[in-house]
A = this chain, B = another copy of it.
Amino acid sequence: MMATVQSQQHFFEGAEKLSEWVKLLRVVRCEIISVTSNKDMDAYVLSESSMFVTKDRFILKTCGTTTLLSAVDYLLDLVKKKVGFDKVVDIFFSRKNFSRPELQHCVHQNFENEVSFCYSILSDGSAYTLGRINGDCWYLYTLEDEGVTHPDQTFELLMWDMCPDKMRIFTQEECKSGEEASQKSGIADIIPGIKIDDFLFDPCGYSMNGLLPGGYYITIHVTPEPHCSYVSFESNVPQESYHELIDKVLDVFRPGKFLMTIFANKASIARDTYKTLENQHTMKGYRRRDHQFCCFKNYTLTYTHYTKLSEGTQYSRPII
Contacts and interface: CB of A to CB of B under 8 A. Distances in A.
Given A294-B292, A319-B87, A127 B122 contact: no
A300 to B, nearest CB: 9
A286 B317 CA distance: 42
Contact of A85 (B131, B132, B315, B320): B320
A9 interface: no
Given A88-B318, A293-B293, A315-B145, A134 B119 contact: yes
A79 B143 CA distance: 48
A133 B295 CA distance: 16
A97 to B, nearest CB: 12
A294 B291 contact: yes
B87 A145 contact: no
A54 B135 CA distance: 33
B128 A318 contact: no
Contact of A134 (B115, B135, B145, B315): B115
A87 B320 contact: yes
Nearest to A277: B295
Contact of A295 (B129, B145, B278, B315): B278
A124 B316 contact: yes
A132 B122 contact: no
Contacts of A128: 129, 131-133
Given A132-B126, A133-B127, A320 B5 contact: yes
B123 A133 contact: no
Name which of A86, A135, A288, A318 has the most chain B CB atoms within 10 A of its CB.
A318
Given A291-B295, A320-B87, A129 B134 contact: no
Interface in A95-126: 111-112, 115, 119, 122-126
How would you classify the secondary structure of chain A's contact residues: helix, strand, loop or mixed? mixed
Contact of A318 (B124, B135, B317): B124
Contacts of A320: 5, 76, 79-80, 85-88
A135 B124 contact: no
A76 B290 CA distance: 27
A115 B135 CA distance: 11
Contacts of A126: 132, 134-135, 290
A131 B128 CA distance: 7
A40 to B, nearest CB: 23
Contact of A127 (B80, B132, B143): B132
Contacts of A135: 126
A124 B135 CA distance: 11
Interface in A246-305: 278, 288, 290-295, 297
B134 A319 contact: no
Interface of A: 5, 76, 79-80, 85-88, 111-112, 115, 119, 122-129, 131-135, 143, 145, 278, 288, 290-295, 297, 315-320
By Cβ-Cβ distance, the 5 closest A-B pairs, closest first, are A291-B295, A293-B293, A127-B134, A126-B132, A76-B320
